[in-house]
């Protein structure tokens, strides 16, 4: 798929968030994507740039991509840790009895936009997205 479908999901999620927050257009979007999705931020940016041209509300927006680390919880020593290499063992005790507890995130974290006011003026609005802004993606 991968970045193309994710970019489409981001556009969809952003349009829904704008609607929900009563914003007319977005200035910036911050998405948090777990490292396990293996997203290449530059490729995602290219796809987003193409897609946003078709959406007046997003045309002037900037996409910020944050990559969440792969986090594990060790069943043996009960510690939590961040894993840098694709080697699924607890860095503290070496056990492979671990649960992956982070790295699969994918959601719209923040959207900055413009809210039209009654007198025709424009008011900047910063909206924190809630859990309804989950980006739906078929990637596992």
| Residues forming the site for Zn ion (CB under 5 A) | 74, 76-77, 90, 92-93, 95
Decide whether 6 or 74 has the Cβ nearer to Zn ion: 74
- Per the CB < 8 A criterion, the answer to whether 126 and 110 are in contact is yes
Residue 102 CB-density burial (10 A; 0-12 exposed, 13-18 middle, 19+ buried): middle
Separation CA 107–CA 104 (nearest Å): 10
Separation CA 58–CA 62 (nearest Å): 8
| Residues pairing with 64 in the sheet | 30
- Residue 102 token pair: 């982070």
> In the bound complex, what is the minimum distance in angstroms from residue 34's beta carbon to Zn ion?
21
> In the bound complex, what is the minimum distance in angstroms from residue 107's beta carbon to Zn ion?
28
Decide whether 95 or 130 has the Cβ nearer to Zn ion: 95
Please name the residues in contact with 138: beta carbons below 8 A apart, sequence gap of 6 or more. 1, 5
Decide whether 36 or 90 has the Cβ nearer to Zn ion: 90
> In the bound complex, what is the minimum distance in angstroms from residue 87's beta carbon to Zn ion?
13
Decide whether 51 or 93 has the Cβ nearer to Zn ion: 93
> In the bound complex, what is the minimum distance in angstroms from residue 134's beta carbon to Zn ion?
30
């Amino acid at each position: 798929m991968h970045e193309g479908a994710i970019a489409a999901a981001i556009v969809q999620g952003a349009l829904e968030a704008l609607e929900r927050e009563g914003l007319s257009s977005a200035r910036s979007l911050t998405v948090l994507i777990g490292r396990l999705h293996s997203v290449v931020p530059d490729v995602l940016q290219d796809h987003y740039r193409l897609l946003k041209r078709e959406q007046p509300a997003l045309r002037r927006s900037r996409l910020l991509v944050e990559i969440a680390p792969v986090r594990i919880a060790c069943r043996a020593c009960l510690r939590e840790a961040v894993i840098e290499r694709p080697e699924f063992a607890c860095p503290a005790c070496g056990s492979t009895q671990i649960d992956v507890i982070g790295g699969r995130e994918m959601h719209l974290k923040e959207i900055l936009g413009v809210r039209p006011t009654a007198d025709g003026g424009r008011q900047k609005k910063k909206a924190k997205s809630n859990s309804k802004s989950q980006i739906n993606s078929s990637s596992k």
